[in-house]
Amino acid sequence: MKTNFFENIAKLNAPGIWTIGIQNDENGDFTVSALYAPFKSNDPATKMIVPLIHRGKATDMDEGFFEATVTQVESLKGLYSNIKAVTASVEAANKKVTQGNKPQPGKQANGNPDEIEAGEPKISAEEKKKAYTDAIRKVVELNDACKYEDALNILPSVEDYPEKKEELEKRKADLTRKAAQYKQALQLFEQS
């Protein structure tokens, strides 16, 4: 049996790292994830790109996989060309916003001389639980998208949630291990 799978990839003229995952079930349905990244792209912003997910029968995949993937690759080739400039501008904007919104201890609130802000506001147990649940949900999504460093960056700290120490330490160890393996795999691709 001859396929032209790799010839189609070569025709895209997009050298880089292709991560393709294929899952099929007993009903003949396929789920295929495809992620393209250029070589030597160490920019953290590139890790925010999620894979393209295709779902369907084998015939659907044969007919539409490359057409949909070409669209993604073409847009990413353009994205990678100016991502450093975009990342720098976003970081500068975030830094400015963060600095401008931080309350200063002892400063007057809302310009009223009778109101003084004294540190961070108290959070209810329900709000804290919701914040934890939301953060863990996002960590799981990032883990599923192989964005382990991003997941580690938003993982709640044991200091904030000491009652969840065991779970947080287990998640951190798992994400750290996966991040190291992912980084090693990328380095192997870059060397070849």
Determine the Cα–Cα distance for residues 18 and 73; give it in Å rounded to an integer: 10
Q: Please answer whether residues 51 and 142 qualify as being in contact, where contact means their C-beta atoms are separated by less than 8 angstroms.
A: no
Specify the DSSP element, H or E, that contains 56.
strand 52-57
> pTM of this prediction?
0.39
User: 66-70, 89-93, 182-186: which has the minimum mean pLDDT?
Assistant: 89-93
For residue 106, what pLDDT is reported? 47
pLDDT in tens, 99-109: 655 554 544 44
Q: How confident is the model at residue 117 (pLDDT cuts 50, 70, 90)?
A: very low
pLDDT at 98 over 80: no
Residue carrying the six token digits 């400063």: 107
Residue 135 has pLDDT above 80, yes or no: yes
3-state secondary structure of 82: helix
Tracing tokens 């880089």 back to the chain, one arrives at 16
